Amino acid sequence: MAEKPKLHYFSGRGRMETIRWMLAVAGVEFEEQTIKSKEDLAKLKQDGVLLFQQVPMVEIDGMKMVQTRAILNYIAAKYNLYGKDLKERAFIDMYCEATMDLNEMFITLPFKPADTKEKEKAQLFEKISTRYFPRFETVLKGHGQDYLVGNKFSRADVQLFESILMAEEMDENILSKFPLLKAFKTRISNLPSVKKFLQPGSKRKPPTDDKTAAELIKTFM
């Protein structure tokens, strides 16, 4: 039997969380090697296992993969979450890149200085409510299907679902103006692999609090 993928990252969401989600919905069990200190990260760098001296790094199928998007592309393609043809893949990529733009804002927010955090949060909220979620609502309305692309569950659904959960952590009523996204969230929540990952005790990570953010700054800066 193939070895379980091993994820090298800190014990928080960051760029690894979408990778954790993708593996979980693909039904792939994985191990985590947690980076707890500057020394742990330095050791990985010295061992020459980080191609560009950065994490996320995922050991999978005999490779030591880095670069979040490359890792996600590989897992999505391997587990048939990446559309049936080039055109479906093009739409999946557009939707996923949008969620990655949002994700970048979510994951960097805890590291913003206290005096600008509220302003950044308000800007993020504005972007979600006026730029991203209305478009996803329109996509679902346009084709009337259960999933974003090709009437089939794909990585685009996983990534949008993850963004919705993070947006709801900011404001639990954020979906009130988006009934189709609300129904989409319920539908995706009820998929067995998603349901399992949402349960307490899974490898899903909590939001990054101020204490964790301060520790991470020490490790990575």
- Binding to ligand GSN (CB under 6 A) within 115-174 occurs at none
Count CB atoms within 10 A of the CB of residue 217: 11
Degrees (nearest 5) of the Cα angle 173, 128, 81?
100
| Calpha distance 191→130 (Å, rounded) | 28
Residue 12 to residue 35: CA distance in whole angstroms: 10
- Least distance CB 171 / ligand GSN (angstroms): 25
Q: How far is the CB of 53 from ligand GSN (least distance, A)?
A: 5
Q: Taking contact as CB under 6 A, which single stretch among the options 18-26, 48-56, 76-84, 140-148 is the one that binds ligand GSN?
A: 48-56
Burial 179-216 (b: 16+ CB within 10 A, else e): ebbeebbeebeebebbeebbeeeebbbeebeeebeebb
Site for ligand GSN in 14-43 (CB under 6 A): 14-15
Residue 67 touches ligand GSN, criterion: CB under 6 A: yes
Contact status: 212 vs ligand GSN (CB under 6 A)? no
Q: Does 56 bind ligand GSN (CB under 6 A)?
A: yes
- Does the footprint of ligand GSN cover residue 68 (CB under 6 A)? yes
Sheet (strand 31-34) strand order: 31-34, 6-9, 57-60, 63-66
Binds ligand GSN (CB under 6 A): choice among 19, 22, 55, 139:
55
Looking at beta carbons only, is 45 or 84 nearer to ligand GSN? 45
Select from 24-32, 54-62, 129-137, 178-186 the region that touches ligand GSN (CB under 6 A): 54-62
Report the Cα–Cα distance between both ends of the chain, in Å, rounded. 39
Nearer to ligand GSN, 33 or 130 (CB): 33
Q: Which residues bind ligand GSN (CB under 6 A)?
A: 14-15, 53-56, 67-68, 220
